[in-house]
Chain A
Amino acid sequence: AQSVAQPEDQVNVAEGNPLTVKCTYSVSGNPYLFWYVQYPNRGLQFLLKYITGDNLVKGSYGFEAEFNKSQTSFHLKKPSALVSDSALYFCAVRPSTSGTYKYIFGTGTRLKVLA
């Protein structure tokens, strides 16, 4: 079965420190990979995506993600965390083969940046 795993329910990091939110996936073929962020009482906001090409993808608000095909991972990173980055982060995968294009979301990781 196709799946996305976010192994950490919560990540705590001090403001100014680098942050990593982990994501691994189990999807056949070469899927498209996404990160979304959700602030309280809001819908999800798109951060970045990997389609093809450079394994390091840059996105909104200074976030970037590293695609590793051999480890089937797509970890979200930021060099210097801000308190305002505190939110719920979702990794999502979409199969690239024709047919179903359903999003498969991870369970989410709550990021808490401490001042």
Chain B
Amino acid sequence: GAVVSQHPSRVICKSGTSVKIECRSLDFQATTMFWYRQFPKQSLMLMATSNEGSKATYEQGVEKDKFLINHASLTLSTLTVTSAHPEDSSFYICSARDRGTRPLLNTEAFFGQGTRLTVV
């Protein structure tokens, strides 16, 4: 299957600082990438949908000024958590859809390895 690389896998930062998480599709072009947040023992909650070359679409309740998403190329999307606070500590996971796949049918979401963010 397709490979999605997410970096870093773990990060510890001080409260008030910003953290950037990268999501790369290594062997395919991803017009759409998704960013999820997962709290311990809970499901994945979609934060935003990132489309290459356009603004991200944020889910209700997700602050777009706090979680900055950039999808500048077909293989890279970044999520920046700005002015991080301890309550932002979580597992963040990206997924990417292969551009070559027919829309809405037979699509697969390939997940990155996730980033465990701890804000102290």
The answer on A and B forming one complex is no
Chain B contacts to A: CB under 8 angstroms: none
